[in-house]
Amino acid sequence: MPNFTDVTEFVLLGLTSRQELQVIFFVVFLIVYMITLLGNVCMIILISISPQLQSPMYFFLSHLSFVDVWFSSNVTPKMLENLLSETKTISYVGCLVQCYFFIALVHVEVYILAVMAFDRYMAICNPLLYGSKMSRTVCVRLISVPYVYGFSVSLICTLWTYGLYFCGNFEINHFYCADPPLIKIACGGVHIKEYTMIVIAGINFTYSLSVVLISYTLIVVAVLHMRSADGRRKAFSTCGSHLTAVTMFYGTLIFMYLRRPTEESVEQGKMVAVFYTTVIPMLNPMIYSLRNKDVKEAANKVIIKANLGAVKLQ
């Protein structure tokens, strides 16, 4: 029988053990985190105060920004703390909490991206029915499902993580508590956790990605039948930002969670995890604002109004 050990804390090995690189990484990821918070919070505020951004598309976008803030905040502060700390530990309870919110927010985000694809399908393929079919009540119901489902599935997955047993090796080869490196160092309860992780990730990624692919297939067919070149250009421009976000997020997560945890896959996954936990939440506001005429116009109006208010106060 394995010699199971009670766990009180784990050691997060992080991205590197080289002191000079840790300082550089701290500065870089602190800047990235600040940009992420600023960009997403500004996007949420802009959508809430701008009359021209009150359509369902921007309602869902505000929730994507909200989830990105929490997604990054679940991982980055602890990573920054450990980059400057000698101990680099996380408590067992803290590790489970981080796992819970990470899994929950991943599921919420993939299904929000699916809902956004469905919204684009309704807007482009059924424009006459769009206003009635995508009412405020319908939008609230659509956005509620990812939150309820994501946090419910995460509770089950975290209970399976709680079922892992450890035999003295408490060093996690990662910068946050992720399932693959935890499975790698566990010595009991591994098979059911590994199997359920791959199955649940496979089912949810497949289902949500299917909604995205079917929606965009129907959108492409509808756009190709449009006679107006301006209509086709506008349709593709509104979809381009969302497709970019979908490709980045799904691509990195599939690379991380649809493979069996090995030393090589865990090490590679650590590099990929930097992208989807820190870089993508920072890029999303830029992707949706720089390529979106309505967002840029709304931002300009807010800036002009703020400048006029400042002038009046003087």
pLDDT confidence bin for 19, thresholds 50/70/90: confident
Q: HSE-up of 116 (CA within 13 Å, CB side)?
A: 25
Q: Are 177 and 98 in contact (CB under 8 A)?
A: yes
Position 3 pLDDT exceeds 60: no
Position 33 pLDDT exceeds 50: yes
Q: Are 109 and 71 in contact (CB under 8 A)?
A: yes
Position 2 pLDDT exceeds 60: no
Measure the CA–CA gap between 214 and 121, rounded to whole angstroms.
Answer: 9
pLDDT, tens digit, 9 for 90 and up, residues 258-293: 666 566 666 677 778 888 888 889 988 888 877 677
Position 1 pLDDT exceeds 50: no
Q: List, in sequence order, the alpha helices (H) in the chain.
A: 19-49, 56-83, 92-125, 127-133, 136-162, 179-185, 190-224, 229-257, 263-274, 280-290, 293-313
In the predicted model, what is the mean pLDDT of the chain?
Answer: 85
Name the most confidently modeled range: 14-23, 118-127, 144-153. Answer: 144-153
Number of residues assigned to the chain = 314
pLDDT, tens digit, 9 for 90 and up, residues 134-164: 999 999 999 999 999 999 999 999 999 888 8
pLDDT, tens digit, 9 for 90 and up, residues 84-118: 888 889 999 999 999 999 999 999 999 999 999 99
The three-class DSSP label of residue 9 is: strand
Q: Which domains does the chain have, with CATH numbers?
A: 9-305 (1.20.1070.10)
What pTM was estimated for this model as a whole?
Answer: 0.89
pLDDT (average), residues 202-206? 89
pLDDT value of position 295: 83
Give CA torsion, residues 99, 105, 107, 113, to 10 deg.
Answer: -150
Position 214 pLDDT exceeds 90: yes
pLDDT (average), residues 206-213? 91
pLDDT (average), residues 174-183? 87
SS3 annotation, 172-239: ECCCCCCHHHHHHHEEECHHHHHHHHHHHHHHHHHHHHHHHHHHHHHHHHHHHCCCCHHHHHHHHHHH
pLDDT value of position 80: 92
pLDDT confidence bin for 179, thresholds 50/70/90: confident
At which residue do the structure tokens 């679940």 appear? 74
Q: Are 175 and 154 in contact (CB under 8 A)?
A: no
| Helical axes 56-83 vs 280-290, angle rounded to 10° | 150
pLDDT value of position 52: 86
Helix (H) or strand (E) holding 171: strand 171-172
